[in-house]
Chains A and B, each alone.
Chain A
Amino acid sequence: MQQTDTIQERYHRQVLLKEFGEQGQQRLAEAKVLVLGAGGLGCPALLYLAAAGVGTLGIVDFDTVSMSNLHRQVLYGTEDIGQLKVLVAERKLKAINPEINIITYPVKLDNALCLELFASYDIILDGTDNFATRYMVNDACVLLQKPLVYGAVSRFEGQVTVFAADDTAVNYRDLFPQPPLEGEVLNCAEAGVLGVLPGIIGSMQANEVIKLITGMGEVLKNQLYTYHALYNQHMILQLSVVEENRKAIPKNEEEFLNMNYEWLCGIGVEEMEIEQEQFEELMEKGELTVIDVREAGELPAISFVEHVKMPLSGLKEQLEKIDGETVVFICQSGKRSLQAAKLLAAINTRINIYSLKGGVLHWKSKIS
């Protein structure tokens, strides 16, 4: 009885709200929310979701606390430096609200883990810090039909939206169809971020989560909220579903597991380029598929290796047909073949994919 009184007292001020009431509190208690990243956005979101009484909070983060986190990641203090973020977060959140269940995952999120974890939560909150993970999380949520509460920050500006789980709802690929490549957009470590900014944006994400769970008010479905901290400027932009963008999303779990989101965002692609010597070694080993991606009629013809022709202009439609253990793409100078390698790498993690550096022209110059 005494515990019930404590709970009633703890949530008294929000249960008092007629839009929220005891039913709202009950819905929060039954809800399971997974927070990805216990950083600048994750910390404030977790604080408010825990305090509000969300019944089960999952936290995914493999990182440890460092000094440069402390100006914005408000769950951590100087004495926590070097500790796993999820464990410090769990301890502090439990101290704030011992009534809730906290599950920690001190691991790096990958494709398989997305499928495994997301299935057992009602709502996913994205507080991650890189594009590869954001596209992966988006595609997993579309596939599993989980609502995704998105937030992102840079310098003085933030974005918030809700990618809802029905067919009329937009997802991240409707907002930004083309993933930026590694280094194209500066991250917080490079561009900087005002500490209070993720505090505002992460709190807004928590608010969207609470509205989704309780059914109060309206969430930012198909709307992007932008905020500029220096001028207090904000804008709500309407988003719409673009069928073309849906094609890039894996259609089933198997396709999703084969996606390489780091390659999709241009991370590690330089490792795909091989020199003539490495190519010759691969040829000796055999079991090699060589694909010429030049357009029909381009010269010189390739006579030094058995190959198939798949011009780059029509490659996208043929990607799924490509099979084998090792594939080497070839073109005139090595540029288009690298593009081809990236296209295949983004949808297939099983095949070893290479691009011949310097292309056919380089090869010819060496033997003559």
Chain B
Amino acid sequence: MELQITIFGQLTDITGSSSIRMSAVSNTDDLLAALKQQYPALGTAKFVVAVDKKIIQENTEITANSSIALLPPFSGG
């Protein structure tokens, strides 16, 4: 099973695409560890994670059907 992850903003400079796929994991901590291993620059980037259209701040369970998004802050006005 694979997870589909939507990437927002300038984070696509790191991932190379606005939609990436990762092997399924059971929670967001594991997902972030895997993402940072594959894209080391994500380790220092600031962003928040959304699971099933909810912004989360703590480790959250995910299933194969979960929709995941990574959102960076932007300040442009």
Contact = CB atoms under 8 A, between A and B. Distances in A.
A and B form one complex: yes
Interface of A: 37, 39-42, 126-131, 134, 151-155, 157, 159, 175-178, 180, 184-188, 191, 193, 198, 224, 226, 228, 235-240, 242, 244-245
B10 interface: yes
A40 B75 CA distance: 12
Contact of B77 (A40, A186, A239, A244): A40
A193 B6 CA distance: 21
A70 to B, nearest CB: 16
Interface in B21-72: 44-46, 48, 50, 53-55, 57, 69, 71-72
B77 A176 contact: no
B51 to A, nearest CB: 10
Given A153-B74, A198-B77, A235 B69 contact: yes
A129 B75 CA distance: 5
B75 A187 contact: yes
Given A157-B9, A175-B48, A178-B46, A185 B75 contact: yes
A131 B46 CA distance: 13
Interface string B1-13: 0000010111000
* Main secondary structure on B side of the interface with A: loop
Contacts of A159: 74
Given A127-B77, A153-B77, A198-B77, A226 B8 contact: yes
Contacts of A39: 77
A41 B76 CA distance: 9
B73 interface: yes
Contact of B55 (A134, A155, A224): A224
